[in-house]
Structure 1
Amino acid sequence: MSSAWKPKLIALDVDGTLLDPETQSVSEVVRAAVRRAVGSGAQVVVSTGRSTLGTRPILAELGLTGGVALCSNGAVRMDAATGAVLAVETFDPAPVHAALSERLPGAIYAAERVGVGSLVSSLFGEEELHGPQQLAGLDELVARPVPRLIANWTGHAPEEVHHAMGGVEFPACTITLDHYEPWVTVVPAGVTKGSALEKLRTELGIPAEDTFAAGDGDNDIEMLEWAAHGVAMGQGPAVVHAAADEVTGPVSEDGLAAVLNRIFG
């Protein structure tokens, strides 16, 4: 990457990249760095595992009033200015739930209802899901196609989830395990942040060499590999670092701002 290079498409994860999970806020240093990138003509795309309801406050905090945001690991595209849902990809959660139940006995589930909240088998923590939670029986939970299904194996460590899910492949969906929480996140087959960004890049006519992405989690790996320059946050696990071209400081030290300011400062 030359010192004169400035990306035209910038994809940014939220939790652990833009937002510090400890403070539950985006620092002014990071907000200023994002504004500087936008002011330089780059299109900034918030690309997150969050639902639309959890993404809208972040867009407002950053002051993003144009373009789109990619939610639910790329399964949902949203207008960043209006919050309107532009596109949704879904899958049948019933067979996936049945298979997960065998491997994660006692797990609780959340099926996303776009723009509404989540149907849940048991209540999740307030900060774990964004938007209203509606208790539902399993039949109702898996009765219709969804963009995202979450299994939370409460009382277990993330390592136990990785062991239970080792080598398992599910048809018609994409599964992401988590290094921070005992979660399994399921979206439609072929859908990742990276695939959604590639579709957007092609539509916008932006050259592949003018792309940038930053993230810290397992669901960011495809996005980091997609970008011409991928940046992993310092606190992320080794597997995420390995997918990136550069490792910056942790979110608690405004690592994203350090890279953006180097490029656009």
Structure 2
Amino acid sequence: MSETAAYKPRLIALDVDGTLLDPETQTVSAGVRDAVRRAVDAGSHVVVATGRSMLGTLPILDELGLRSGAALCSNGAIRLDAATRETVAIETFDPAPVHARLSALLPGSNFAVEQVGTGSLVTSSFPQNLLHGPQRSVDVEELISKHVPRMIAHWAGHTTKEAAEALDGVLLPASTYTIDHYTTWITVVPDGVTKGSALEKLRTELGIAVEDTFAAGDGDNDIRMLEWAGHSVAMGQAPAVVRATATEVTGTVAEDGLVTSLDRWFR
């Protein structure tokens, strides 16, 4: 990618938690908001690409003032129109065989499935800071009765390393998973769905060249997105495997590392 003063990325994909938003303070800094606004004002397509549900993504769009383009939720399983706040596309999978497999591998896990735009069905309540929107406790039979875009398994009391070891080499039925490095949280979405695959569809529709794309993230679910981008940035606190995937490593989210990266083109 050219990095001359005249060059500006045309499609910018940004993770939320750990990139735009500091998980410790649960805030988006004024510096980050201003940097995103400068990129939008320069004519670039800024896309929020997150593992969050639709309900967890909407407040971020509001805080950033994003009123056009697209947002990708649930690791790319859901696309929103940022102007209307309505869903454009949803991909789903059968949660029944996935629940059976994960229950055996991660005994004692609490499960949630996303109900797009209304909340989540849960086997027992999740902490509000972990699962956005209303929760309704149901039995397993109801939880797995319909296809869903996203399932969460929260293996409380265990480390992410233990979860990675328990799932090492595991292939889930018609789905794929990522492990959050802030908590022992496994996100499952349809097979073949990643932030990277969803962004590639969007890039093609917009007619933007691969070399004109930019992505920033910090988690396991950002790896495919970072591999997809013409220029990719890993946040400073990201695990080594994520940092190794990116074109460059910037400062941590607490240090407004995203601002440092975007300011290269948007000042």
Q: Which residue of 2 aligns with 1:54?
A: 56
Q: Which residue of 2 aligns with 1:11?
A: 13
For 2:80 and 2:191, locate their aligned partners in 1 and report how far apart those are by CA, in whole Å: 20
Aligned pairs for 1:14-163 within 5 A: 14-163=16-165
For 2:258 and 2:215, locate their aligned partners in 1 and report how far apart those are by CA, in whole Å: 10
1:141-197: CA deviations, max 9, x gaps?
000000000000111111110111111112311111222211111000100000000
TM-score by length of 2: 0.98
For 2:112 and 2:151, locate their aligned partners in 1 and report how far apart those are by CA, in whole Å: 6
Q: How much does 1:2 deviate? A: 2.2
Of 210-219 and 77-86, the range deviating more from structure 2? 77-86
Q: Which residue of 1 aligns with 2:217?
A: 215
Residue identity opposite 1:2 in structure 2: E
Q: Which residue of 1 aligns with 2:196?
A: 194
For 2:81 and 2:14, locate their aligned partners in 1 and report how far apart those are by CA, in whole Å: 16
Gaps (5+ residues) in structure 2? none
Gaps (5+ residues) in structure 1? none
What fraction of aligned residue pairs are identical, expressed as a percent? Answer: 66
Residue identity opposite 2:3 in structure 1: S
Q: Which residue of 2 aligns with 1:236?
A: 238
Query: Contact 2:180–2:186 (CA<8 Å) still a contact in 1?
Result: yes
Query: Contact 2:226–2:246 (CA<8 Å) still a contact in 1?
Result: yes
Query: Contact 2:97–2:173 (CA<8 Å) still a contact in 1?
Result: no
TM-score by length of 1: 0.99
For 1:87 and 1:262, locate their aligned partners in 2 and report how far apart those are by CA, in whole Å: 33
Instruction: Please report the RMSD computed on the Cα atoms of aligned residues, expressed in angstroms.
Output: 0.8
For 1:96 and 1:192, locate their aligned partners in 2 and report how far apart those are by CA, in whole Å: 17
Query: Contact 2:251–2:258 (CA<8 Å) still a contact in 1?
Result: yes
1:197-255: CA deviations, max 9, x gaps?
00000011111110000000100000000000000000110011011001000000100
